[in-house]
Structure 1
Amino acid sequence: MNQDQPGGERQNNKPPELKPGTVKKLVIGVAAVILLFYIGTSSFYTVQEQERAAILTFGKYTQETSAGLHFKWPYPIQDVRIVPAELTQKITIGYRQNGNQMIPVEDEAMMITGDENIVSADAVVTWKIENIRNYLHNIHNPEQFLRNSASASIRSVIGSQKLDYAITDGKTAIQDEVRNRLIELQKKYETGIQIIDLKFQDIEPPSGEVEEAFRAVTNAREEKNTKVNNAKKYENDRIPKARGEAQALIEQAEAEKKSRILNAEGDVAKFNAIYTEYAKNPGVTQDRLILETLEKIMPNAQIFITNSGSDTVNYLPLNELLNKRSGGDTAIAPTPAPTPPPQQTAEGDAQQGKQGDDAR
């Protein structure tokens, strides 16, 4: 009996035997649960607002999906690649941004200009994904490709310009040309990247004595521009005034010209009138002109008329006769009698002298 108990205990401790069909069903059930879990976790995916998803069927691009919850066939039938296609991104050339700290990258920033000088150029490139298919299949590392292509564009443009132009007036023109070349590179290699903008932060000589020298050059150029602007301002102020003064002188000269022409025409008319009278009676007119001229030359002269044709000196005291006549007429306050008009007296005297000569 005691010998049977140990044997009986050994028989009761054996695990129950499962039928072959039961084991098979159990394995299939576990596999089905695992498969359903895998399908459930790999067939549904979510796309955020700033993202877009590319669906690859057996590794081939088939479609795109936008924001929301979507279904796909499980891998390896279909695979999904989610990219921030609606997000505007930035990369820096020549430095890296670490919070508020800027870490320079000399290998990217330093480059040679067309006149064999060294310049440091820092830039920021703003971009976004334009074509997901090209972005995923045509370039392996999009960000690195964009950085290399931006650096190559900057070097090619600055390498053809002089340092003086690059650090002063040519910054905007160089910036536009670099942006255009970078856009051409993206189109040429079909990267699917859209270049929104490229802006230089700094284009300057290396730090040290070279920087100080070029800063002095820049200050001198700014001072030159200031003086040029002041000179242009003075020019713009003086030229209108000078033109006004010139116009006033021209108008004054025109007025003087017209005045002299009119005076000359009046003198001609007067001369023509005198000449007409002179032609009628040359002797009288000649005497009158002589007397008028003498009156103008000697307005206070006393005129005596004599006959120089005889041997004796004839003297006619006109002044005494005039003074006596004026004294006899004036009783209270004798005053010298006014001299008659020179023209009439002279003409009368001339006629009397002429008549006396005729009588002789």
Structure 2
Amino acid sequence: MKPGTVKKIVIGAVAAVALLYLGSTSFYTVQEQERAAILTFGKYDRETSSGLHFKWPSPIQEVRIVPAELTQHITIGYRQNGNTVTPVDEESMMITGDENIVSADAVVTWKISNIRNYLHNISNPEQFLRNSTSASIRSVIGAQKLDYAITDGKTAIQDQVREKLIELQNKYETGIQIIDLKFQDIEPPGGEVEDAFRAVTNAREEKNTKINNAAKYENDRIPKARGEAQALIEKAEAEKKSRILNAQGDVAKFNAIYSEYVKNPGVTENRLILETLEKILPNAQIFITNSGSDTVNYLPLNELLKNNGTSSTTNNNANNSNQQTNGGDGQ
């Protein structure tokens, strides 16, 4: 081969390799849930979203693709691989404010909010997030009592831990956004300690149940008792008014009789005696006798009054008949 031909072949091969290198390092693809950071001579330059993009070849520019649009999860206190759950005691075990040991498992939901901070301010973002979460949990639970942490205080502790974790991410500018933090379990270690605290929890729940039942009974009985008391009061008031009115009527009646009695005591006295006798002897028969001699003189007033009544009735009937006869003759 001629020297010129060999030279052309070498130049062509070098150009082909250069083109392949430029093509492989200058074009990159970003998926739907990803975003890319472009570094120019190692310094952050810009971000690109999903699609096919061009950059200057390395070492001028390089691209770092991160799942910035993807919501991610990490677990604290355990690791889960499919259906297999492996406890991590060095993360879950911690001491409470009353110097008891408690096991706390949590799940943190997060995503990347600032790619520049995420890539440059922390070397291992996931490990930093795991450590900061564990520190936040220990800080909050370390100030609480065990029985509060495993019963009524779980929700409050969860909110405090989330706020402290967000505060740490903002303080160190990690570029990580904390979406949520949920405790899976806050409980004492297994064995006798767990059984003892479970018994305490059951006793507390039974206590609350009895208190609620007592309050329900109280709310049921007190209104009824108040109603019954009000009814008795109203009945007593009605009886009081009735007796007062009756007493006032009796006084008025007595005063009326007394005023007439003062005018003519004898007549009033006789009338009262007769009215009293009529009340106590409504069907009595009256006899008038004279026992001053050996012979008893008897005056049958009842029969005389009866005969007088019969005679009066007969005379009235006769007078009516005569009037009718006279009236007929006139016609």
TM bin, normalised by shorter chain, reads: 0.7 to 0.9
Q: Which consecutive residues of structure 2, in runs of 5 or more, have no partner in the other structure?
A: 282-286, 291-296, 307-331
**Structure 2 CA distance, aligned partners of 1:55 and 1:265?**
109
**Structure 1 CA distance, aligned partners of 2:302 and 2:272?**
34
1:205-232 Cα distance to aligned partner (Å, 9 max, x none): 1111111111111111121122122222
- Matched with 2:137 is 154
**Structure 1 CA distance, aligned partners of 2:84 and 2:57?**
45
Matched residue SS, 1:324: strand
Are the equivalent residues in 2 in contact too, given 1:186–1:194 (CA < 8 A)? yes
Counterpart among 6, 21, 27 of residue 44 in structure 1? 27
- Matched with 2:100 is 117
**Structure 1 CA distance, aligned partners of 2:53 and 2:83?**
39
Shift, 1:190, TM fit: 1.6
Task: Give yes or no for the alignment of 1:173 onto 2:147.
Answer: no
Shift, 1:284, TM fit: 5.0
Are the equivalent residues in 1 in contact too, given 2:113–2:175 (CA < 8 A)? yes
Matched residue SS, 2:177: strand
Relative to structure 1, the CA distance from residue 87 to residue 286 in structure 2 (aligned partners, 3 Å threshold; closer, same or farther) is: same
Task: Give yes or no for the alignment of 1:222 onto 2:196.
Answer: no
1:283-315 Cα distance to aligned partner (Å, 9 max, x none): 5599579959x959x957xxxxxxxxxxxxxxx
Relative to structure 1, the CA distance from residue 43 to residue 319 in structure 2 (aligned partners, 3 Å threshold; closer, same or farther) is: farther
Shift, 1:234, TM fit: 1.8
Aligned length: 295
**Structure 1 CA distance, aligned partners of 2:85 and 2:220?**
49
Shift, 1:53, TM fit: 1.1
**Structure 2 CA distance, aligned partners of 1:53 and 1:72?**
11
Q: What do you get for the CA RMSD once the two structures are aligned?
A: 3.0
Matched residue SS, 1:218: helix
Relative to structure 1, the CA distance from residue 195 to residue 282 in structure 2 (aligned partners, 3 Å threshold; closer, same or farther) is: farther
Letter of the 2:30 counterpart: V
TM-score, normalising length: structure 1 = 0.73
Task: Give yes or no for the alignment of 1:281 onto 2:263.
Answer: yes
- Matched with 1:95 is 78
TM-score, normalising length: structure 2 = 0.79
Counterpart among 31, 43, 47 of residue 60 in structure 1? 43
**Structure 1 CA distance, aligned partners of 2:36 and 2:94?**
39
Task: Give yes or no for the alignment of 1:266 onto 2:249.
Answer: yes
**Structure 1 CA distance, aligned partners of 2:185 and 2:128?**
23
**Structure 2 CA distance, aligned partners of 1:167 and 1:276?**
90
Shift, 1:69, TM fit: 1.1
**Structure 2 CA distance, aligned partners of 1:205 and 1:271?**
90
Letter of the 2:114 counterpart: N
Shift, 1:236, TM fit: 2.5
Counterpart among 104, 119, 134 of residue 87 in structure 2? 104
Shift, 1:59, TM fit: 2.0
Residue pairs, 1:200-239, within 5 angstroms: 200-239=183-222
- Matched with 1:340 is none
Residue pairs, 1:330-341, within 5 angstroms: none
Task: Give yes or no for the alignment of 1:325 onto 2:308.
Answer: no
**Structure 2 CA distance, aligned partners of 1:328 and 1:136?**
136
Letter of the 1:249 counterpart: L
For the pair shown, the structure with the greater C-alpha radius of gyration is 1
Are the equivalent residues in 1 in contact too, given 2:288–2:299 (CA < 8 A)? no
Identity between Structure 1 and Structure 2 (%): 76
Letter of the 1:61 counterpart: Y
